Structure 1
């Protein structure tokens, strides 16, 4: 399957009524798994209920990140994802059902960026991982400028998101998530800069990208701190239960 054929196939899948119904069902299933199995706690979830187009910019530590965050949004959220997430056959359908759109890493993927911009012109939310591929730990290093570029070009806000627990729950190579509590922090939206003569200057893009990285780090720090507090409380409850017995 060629790269262009893959994009066309995903776009065609999205246009079907069956796809939207399956998306809703899969999203609900992920929501239930997150609630019951992973005991997911979300701070700032109301920000995912905003109207109009916006960009969700989470940290990236696991394949759980996008499905868990998207399941907390009442609307269909499209996600830019590496093309390796679209294996032939049923795998492409599953990824498309989760709202993913293929991005070809290592090349100037104008088709994907244009598709993302077109989605937001229609008022749809979009999830983009500014870090690109999965990282490890609580530190946010250098991030790509694609999210800042799309936000400024489309005039939409960005929601920085910090996530704690997904790296431990489903590390690379895992087939099913371990029962590790997940904590998600959705920070206040960042508004894009005003364009100069209708264009985003390199300085504006660099400055906005730095602001986004700092906001993601703050959200990540809060998520990690809340996760630590939750673990401490569980240990205390377990100790009390043991003492009662």
Structure 2
């Protein structure tokens, strides 16, 4: 974990504790070592920052971020400092896949948003990329749920002037079932849905979107 990463996370956590009504629950569920995929809902541009604050310094979280963000004069340098890797969302990105696999093979932590894009009005149907990475790497998945960041709008507001209630809930880690051979799209989508259901169980009803559930995972 780089000194810059530690410094940024520490400063951001101090800032959000002072300016916002910030609450984290379930940190005891974070595995202390080994490969890990953090799977979260996605409400705002600033969610990656809140993932790092929520998980804290127990793990160095790395990201796949859409390639266009790296061209932004403010976001680009920050993404590189945090150790993010560009992702081409218009097709299969072999470079991003190799980055993810190499990271997990060395017991790293990869954060993914299974929905593939922001959905501030509630959970939307998940894509299947997370399933392929989880099955190929064997890494457990840590479900987390963020609420409140949808009010911030742009990235700078959430990063530098956070206000109001922001909640970060961490569920228990789980692994996908072992499957031999190549899986079809139907199975991949079913497994993606099962990941989203874990996230949904950590969310209030208003945020559950297309994955409504009457049950909650207690953390």
Q: TM-score range by the shorter chain?
A: 0.7 to 0.9
Where 2:38 maps in the other structure, the secondary structure is strand
1:147-192, CA deviations, whole angstroms, 9 ceiling, x for partnerless residues?
1111111001111211111111x11375443411210111122211
Structure with the greater relative contact order (CA < 8 A, sep ≥ 6): 1 or 2?
A: 2
1:1-40, CA deviations, whole angstroms, 9 ceiling, x for partnerless residues?
xxxxxxxxxxxxxxxxxx9221111111122122222232
Q: Give the structure-2-normalised TM-score.
A: 0.83
Where 2:71 maps in the other structure, the secondary structure is coil
Q: Give the structure-1-normalised TM-score.
A: 0.75
CA contact (8 A) 1:157 1:192 kept: yes
Rounded to whole Å, the distance in 2 between the matches of 1:35 and 1:224 is 23
> Which residues in structure 2 correspond to 1:3-42 (within 5 Å)?
20-42=2-24
Q: Which ranges of structure 1 fall in alignment gaps of 5 or more residues?
A: 1-18, 226-245
Q: Structure 1 pair 83/124, CA: closer, same or farther in 2 (3 Å)?
A: same
Does residue 135 (structure 1) correspond to residue 112 (structure 2)? The answer is: no
Q: Could you tell me which residue of structure 2 aligns to residue 147 of structure 1?
A: 130
Q: Structure 1 pair 63/177, CA: closer, same or farther in 2 (3 Å)?
A: farther
Does residue 98 (structure 1) correspond to residue 79 (structure 2)? The answer is: no
CA contact (8 A) 2:60 2:109 kept: yes
Structure 1 residue corresponding to 2:142, chosen from 159, 171, 181: 159
After TM superposition, give the deviation of residue 70 of structure 1 in Å. 1.5
Rounded to whole Å, the distance in 1 between the matches of 2:134 and 2:165 is 31
For the aligned residue pairs, the C-alpha RMSD in angstroms reads: 2.4
Q: Could you tell me which residue of structure 1 aligns to residue 195 of structure 2?
A: 212
Q: Which ranges of structure 2 fall in alignment gaps of 5 or more residues?
A: 209-219
Which of the pair has more CA radius of gyration? 1
Q: Structure 1 pair 99/67, CA: closer, same or farther in 2 (3 Å)?
A: farther
CA contact (8 A) 2:141 2:173 kept: yes
